Amino acid sequence: LYYLMDLSYSMENDLERLRTLGSELASTMRKTTSNLRMGFGAFVDKTTSPYMYMYSPEVIANPCYPIGTTCQAQFGFKNVLSLTDQVARFTEEVKKQTVSRNRDAPEGGLDAVMQAIVCKEKIGWRPDASHLLVLTTDAKTHTALDARFAGIVQPNDGQCYLDSNNLYNKSAVLDYPSLGLIMDKMTENNINLVFAVTSYVVPLYKEYSQLIPGSTVGLLSDDSGNVIQLIEEAYAKIRSKVVLELVGVPDELNLSFNATCLNGEVIPGLKSCSGLKIGDTVSFSVEAQLRACPQDKTRTFTIKPLGFKDSLEITVDFACGCDCEAKSVPNSPVCSSGNGTFECGVCQCHEGRMGPRCECSMEDYSPSEDNSCVPKGGSSACSGRGDCLCGQCSCHANDFGQVWGKYCECDDFNCLRFKGALCSDHGRCNCGFCQCDAGWTGDSCDCSTRTDTCMSSIGLLCSGRGNCECGVCQCTQPGAYGSTCEKCPTCPDSCTIKKECVECQHFKRGRYTTDDSCNRICKNEIRVVDELVFRAKNAMNCSYKDENDCVVNFQYYEDETSKSILFVVKIPECPEGPDILLVLLGVVGAILLLGLVGLLIWKLMVTIHDRREFAKFEEEKAKAKWDTANNPLYVGATSTFTNVAYRGN
């Protein structure tokens, strides 16, 4: 890891913070690798006007003199510490550094990047190691042609120019390098570049990163306090992606790629796979298409994964001729007694002869309106672009290209154009129609079939929210935007997708943990908070019930670098357990109450029943009528008999 730092005056706080982070940075990186080397370099800008204060010796020696403080003289780039495994030296050298001060706002960062890449021996890059170059700055950077303001017209040649003091000695001689040159040298030397920049310049460096394969951008805090986390995330991002790079491909050859990534799906037009971890295997297939025949029939080119030393060298033998050409018969009797060469079943007539068998002499024939030269429905012989000789069209030469055909109806220059280019320079014009090169389609070959530009960080084309058309995502999901439709805080599925990421990233459980897709799909930063607060309009609050029936609250937010952050509330809202005493008292009270209610109901029903019976009795009693009489069946207990024979006294 080579740490390249902007030492202009505005980076004073960042330098102060870095002095305390050397050991921690090394400890963090050693969790990833057991064989770490670290180095340190610094840059400001070119040492000439208008980039440097030149108007007095005091200011040249101390650029901070006008503002009443002291700083070191301006320099272009210096290699402060070559790569070493002695981390203590890194901290010591950083502590020795002081800031400088330049005149204009942009810095000379690309000069420093170029020297750090190409000076392999001075910097100490090991050929078999992973090379991580970290550029930290809070300002824009000069690019190629900017040095013309200083009268510097010599282009940067991409060579190493560090002197014995490890200072860049061509700062005032060579122009700034272009992004294309930086990219070529990064590929050649297997360098991965990390732009660690502040929010003010993040959009600019994101544009740079899109043009430079193998680079990434991280948001640096104002005092570089998060640089360790930033480097760790950038390294993980770089190492989780494989991008194929082509070196030395002949112009006569078109290559198209198909990628088979982790899900086993073959994706045409893709030469990269992301979301990888150690042990994963992906494959690519390459299709070659011949555009033209080079003079050298054997050519070699290289395919390599960006940032790795491994490569595949391919040698191509161009078969530009037909086998039957080797069996041609010069002056063949088949061609009207030797007036042509019989080749592949066709007579190639000598100069001045024509006809299917070279039977006609052009000197003996003048242009005519022979019907055999007039196309069906046509009005003129040979389409007006040739002469009819011996019943055959002889097409005129044309400054724009070649004209051919039985009736001179075809050419290679009357096809659709795009931005002024015939077939968009991505195909050949053949008889009025564009025959597109591999990787292009459309009537004018202006539509790329590449899909890698549409692949999102979660491994889905256009994040599953749009269609990849001509290499550009057309978002179809309402509310989705971004180069891969990756931004969609208001999408109905945002909370659902991020819920799974909260489960696997924070709680280490869930579906993504089971199928090992957490690292591939979830690229979020998890931040644990006590409560959710309002952050921005594009922040979205979400909640869900987990397996314990607890409610987990979190907030989905994307910052200005498109980094996804999930703010998870520390303590889920779980239902409280029951109070046993209250439950028992409640149960006993309920039983007693039910019993009392039951008794009251029973008593009420009995009372009502008794009252009804008594009322009925009283009613019947009132209705009854009693008469005084003797029972005719009654026989008294005493009976009196009269003795008839008794005569008394």
CB 498 within 8 A of CB 524: yes
SS3 content of the chain, % helix, strand, coil (to 5): 30, 25, 45
Residue 649 vs residues 640, 641, 642, 643, 646: alpha-carbon distances, Å: 20, 18, 15, 14, 9
pLDDT in tens, 304-359: 888 777 889 999 988 887 778 778 888 888 898 888 999 888 888 888 887 778 88
Query: DSSP secondary structure string, 10-44?
Result: GGHHHHHHHTTTHHHHHHHHTTT-SS--EEEEEE-
Q: Higher model confidence: residue 116 or residue 30?
A: 116
Alpha helices in 55-194 (DSSP H): 57-61, 87-96, 109-118, 120-123, 179-189
- Structure tokens that stand for 598 in this block: 């039951």
pLDDT bin (cut points 50, 70, 90) of residue 628 is low
Highest mean pLDDT among 47-61, 155-169, 336-350, 535-549: 155-169
Q: Quick one: average pLDDT of 563-592?
A: 84
Dump pLDDT digits (tens) for 198-221. 888 999 999 999 888 888 898 888
pLDDT band at 572 (very low <50, low <70, confident <90, very high): confident
* Residue 162: pLDDT over 80: yes
pTM of the entire predicted model: 0.62
Do 491 and 463 touch, CB atoms closer than 8 A?
no
Taking the C-alpha atoms of residue 512 and residue 515, their distance in angstroms, rounded to an integer, is: 5
Q: What's the whole-number mean pLDDT along residues 88-93?
A: 89
Task: Compute the C-alpha angle 200/203/206, nearest 5°.
Answer: 130
Q: Confidence band (pLDDT; 50, 70, 90) for 577?
A: low
Q: Name the band, by pLDDT with cuts 50, 70 and 90, for residue 62.
A: very high
Compute the distance between CA of residue 429 and CA of residue 436 in angstroms, rounded to an integer. 9
Taking the C-alpha atoms of residue 386 and residue 399, their distance in angstroms, rounded to an integer, is 14
What is the model's pLDDT at position 253?
Answer: 86
Q: Which of 179-183, 367-371, 406-410, 419-423 is predicted least confidently? A: 367-371
Q: How confident is the model at residue 360 (pLDDT cuts 50, 70, 90)?
A: confident
Averaged pLDDT for residues 373-402:
82
For residue 614, the model assigns a pLDDT of 87
State the average pLDDT over residues 182-186: 92
Q: Which of 471, 466, 468, 467 is nearest to 426 (CA)?
A: 471
pLDDT of residue 627: 60
Q: Is the pLDDT of residue 372 over 90?
A: no
pLDDT band at 168 (very low <50, low <70, confident <90, very high): very high
Confidence of residue 77 (pLDDT cuts 50, 70, 90): very high
CATH 3.40.50.410 at 2-240, yes or no: yes
Whether residue 133 is predicted with pLDDT greater than 90 in this model: the reply is: yes
CA 268 to chain centre: 17
Kindly tell me if the per-residue pLDDT of 121 is higher than 70: yes
pLDDT at position 365, please? Answer: 66
**Of 459, 454, 494, residue with least CA distance to 475:** 454
CATH domain 417-448 topology: Laminin (2.10.25)
The β-bridge partners of 403 are: 411
Instruction: Work out the pLDDT band at 71, boundaries 50, 70, 90.
Output: very high
Q: Per-residue pLDDT for 371 more than 80?
A: no
| Least confident residue range of 10-19, 147-156, 573-582 | 573-582
Whether residue 369 is predicted with pLDDT greater than 60 in this model: the reply is no
Query: SS3 string of 332-366?
Result: CCCCCCCCEEEECCEEEECCCEECCCCCEEHHHCC
**What is the predicted pLDDT for the residue at 366?**
63
In words, the CATH class of domain 494-569 is few secondary structures
What percentage of the chain carries pLDDT values higher than 70? 94
Q: Where are the domains of the chain?
A: 2-240, 243-317, 417-448, 494-569
What's the CATH fold of domain 243-317?
Immunoglobulin-like (2.60.40)
Q: Give percent above pLDDT 90 in the chain.
A: 30
Q: Give pLDDT, residue 180.
A: 93
Q: Is the pLDDT of residue 22 over 70?
A: yes
Tens-place pLDDT, residues 246-277: 888 888 888 888 888 877 778 888 888 877 77
